[in-house]
Structure 1
Amino acid sequence: MLVIRPITKADLPALMMCADESGHGFTSLPVNEEILSNRIAHSVESFNKDVTAPGPEGYLMVAEDTETGEIAGTTALEAAVGLDNPFYTYHLSTLVHNSHHLDVHKVLKVLTFGNDYTGVSELCTLFLRPQWRQGLNGKLLSKCRFLMLAEHSHRFSDTVIAEMRGVSDEQGNSPFWEWLKEHFFSIDFVEADYLTGIGKKEFIADLMPKLPIYVNLLSKDAQAVIGQVHDNTRPALKLLEAEGFVNRGYVDIFDAGPTVECDLRHIESVRASQRCTVEIGEHHSSHNYIISNTRFAGFRATVGKAALDGERNLAIISPEMAKVLEVKNGDQVRLIAQ
């Protein structure tokens, strides 16, 4: 059984392992022990901070195998992006060039550089190690965050986004970045991505073109990947789309992967989640649920079978699940049917 819990300083070696395994394009997990150690410290501080409105808090969690103690993956939420470090995007929009005199009508796509998502909350750092990519583990890692958003909404923005990894090859080469590199930069995609991951974003403001870029001036390869996702990211995008997330034309400035968004209140799992009272006991239900306790600093979430008693608003869970969630009879849990 996997349990989702806030990260601790003792998890640094496991987080380094996840960073190494995650590969190119995973900006939020740079292979840098100092940066990851600082991120853990920031998360510990954020979880223990008493807040009334979203700020620069970052909540990093790990999935722990309760049988072996191994860390199976990571998942995280940023309360409000762009407050400490700029959060840059390109926005893909349409321009019309029209001349009645010449009878010329052109519809053109342009990319505009900006910070439109400053202050919104972000789903990020979702990584599940290969040996645990089975069953409902992936859904647990993703959807546990919706239980947190539903239960502790005052800590988050009304808008929630997620950046999807764009197209790149096994060596980390991005067709979109190759065009930018040729005309504006002199560093490889992997280096640019790494610098962003460790917070060194000054080069973006210094070198990135500020005026809109006409898409038809890009190489054909670069044009083809705008708004497209890496093959490994397709399942995550499909899950978010089922939750109500949509792309409104925003893409990553390095690999042109889409950024999707949804109003917190309209996320399907937030709307469908239920708050129930715990009853510990044996049951014969075959229905699976992603379940969390209702604490914050002591947040715990897992997935497994439970029985609901709608009349008494009870969630009947096994003693094993109660131990994992650190709840007792009469406590509250929040859950989503799977």
Structure 2
Amino acid sequence: MTFRLRAARADDLEPLYEMAKLTGGGFTNLPPDRNALSGKLGRASAAFANETDEICDEQFVLILENAQTGAIRGTCQLMTQVGQQWPFYSYRLNTLTQYSQELDRTVRAEMLSLVTDLEGSSEVGGLFLHPNERAGGLGLLLARSRYLFIAMHRARFADRVLAELRGIIDERGGSPFWDGVAGRFFGMNFQEADYFNAINGNQFIADLMPKHPVYVAMLDDDARSVIGVPHPTGRAAMRMLENEGFHYDGYVDIFDGGPTMVARTDEVVSVKNSEQRTISGIETTEGERAIIATGKLATFRACYGARKLNEDGTISIDAQAADILDVKGGDTVWSVAR
């Protein structure tokens, strides 16, 4: 497989825009707007250029490209510390239990409360793979390479990491959750609100949204049924997150009700099991399949390859991976078993 993940550049704008037009809405981190995407690439460029090892509000954008043709076929993002530029809002689903002695009855009411509990976490998101490439494990390469990037730049990321999954979007491009909850207060449909959020941020939620909890029982059936449910195209992503150690803890997206998955950064499987070793041989044709990465910040790149972990603490990798990553004997790589 000749695909590699690398740091995004300014000249990736047009292919990134073309992919954004294919998302179908509800994809806040990849809006089909050239100015917004150019801003993201500008922030990413500044983050890649910053070599200080400290956490601040930064955004990294990675690009999946065909190493032979240069065609760009996917992207993903990493946010180092959410909730710094504007509040990071979520709904938290919790239960209020009440008891009436006169009736001898206990009532449990589910409520959605507007919270900023996840503020300060790192976030992995913006993952999109071109529809023509959704086979052969490229989605897994996109997803898990992010965790190698975190492991290789650990000081730049928080101790907790989250991932927001897109919620249910109907055939009209609307959101049953938005229509049943926030849409009642804003006088705009989901697509308008989602686009505004992608371009301008969600401060308007803080300005206009009632701060009182919303009783789930008062919502219509369509809105209730999608709380914490991922979009059908995101179910595989949810399984991958669960395999990495993420879990759903009752937090849902304020726009479409999709689940927010959370994990302790150092317990994410691909972070915890990653290894840094020096290459001692480039000739292995048989060995353990792995994701292999090298470089730092703007020179980061990752791909699939075969590895052999040697008893002397070095690593041998296959020639194709070495060519894609442009590494040789004596260079350092990070890897994690596929």
The bucket for the TM-score relative to the shorter chain is: over 0.9
Query: Secondary structure at 2:144's aligned position in 1?
Result: helix
2:178 match: 177
Residues 156-175 of structure 1 mapped to structure 2, 5 A cutoff: 156-175=157-176
Q: Does structure 1 residue 316 correspond to structure 2 residue 319?
A: no
Q: Quick one: distance in 1 between partners of 2:108 and 2:19?
A: 44
1:51 match: 52
C-alpha contact 1:293 1:301 (8 A) present in aligned 2: yes
Q: Quick one: distance in 2 between partners of 1:288 and 1:321?
A: 11
Give the deviation of 1:317 after TM superposition. 1.9
Q: Quick one: distance in 1 between partners of 2:128 and 2:183?
A: 31
Residues 41-190 of structure 1 mapped to structure 2, 5 A cutoff: 41-180=42-181, 183-190=184-191
1:335 match: 335
Query: Secondary structure at 2:297's aligned position in 1?
Result: coil
Give the deviation of 1:52 after TM superposition. 2.8
**1:160-189 deviation per Cα after TM superposition (whole angstroms, max 9, x unaligned):** 000011011232111111112553121111
The residue type equivalent to 2:47 in the other structure is: S
Give the deviation of 1:202 after TM superposition. 3.4
Q: Quick one: distance in 2 between partners of 1:250 and 1:181?
A: 16
1:17 match: 18
Give the deviation of 1:152 after TM superposition. 1.4
Give the deviation of 1:4 after TM superposition. 0.7
C-alpha contact 1:136 1:303 (8 A) present in aligned 2: no
Q: Quick one: distance in 1 between partners of 2:10 and 2:309?
A: 37
Root-mean-square deviation (CA), in Å?
Answer: 1.4
C-alpha contact 2:164 2:253 (8 A) present in aligned 1: yes
Q: Does structure 1 residue 257 correspond to structure 2 residue 263?
A: no
Give the deviation of 1:129 after TM superposition. 0.4
The residue type equivalent to 1:172 in the other structure is: G
Q: Quick one: distance in 2 between partners of 1:270 and 1:181?
A: 37
Q: Quick one: distance in 2 between partners of 1:279 and 1:43?
A: 33
Cα 1:169–1:149, aligned 2, differ >3 Å: closer, same or farther? Answer: same
Q: TM-score, normalised by structure 2?
A: 0.96
Query: Secondary structure at 2:55's aligned position in 1?
Result: coil
Single out whichever of 154-163 and 90-99 deviates more from structure 2: 90-99
Give the deviation of 1:209 after TM superposition. 1.8
1:207 match: 208
Q: Quick one: distance in 2 between partners of 1:104 and 1:207?
A: 36
**1:101-129 deviation per Cα after TM superposition (whole angstroms, max 9, x unaligned):** 33221011011002111111000110010
Q: Quick one: distance in 2 between partners of 1:231 and 1:198?
A: 25
- Stretches of structure 1 lacking an aligned partner (at least 5 in a row): none
Single out whichever of 151-160 and 131-140 deviates more from structure 2: 131-140
Cα 1:53–1:281, aligned 2, differ >3 Å: closer, same or farther? Answer: closer
Q: Quick one: distance in 1 between partners of 2:281 and 2:192?
A: 51
Q: TM-score, normalised by structure 1?
A: 0.96
Give the deviation of 1:100 after TM superposition. 1.3
Cα 1:62–1:220, aligned 2, differ >3 Å: closer, same or farther? Answer: same
Give the deviation of 1:326 after TM superposition. 2.8
How many pairs are equivalent? Answer: 337
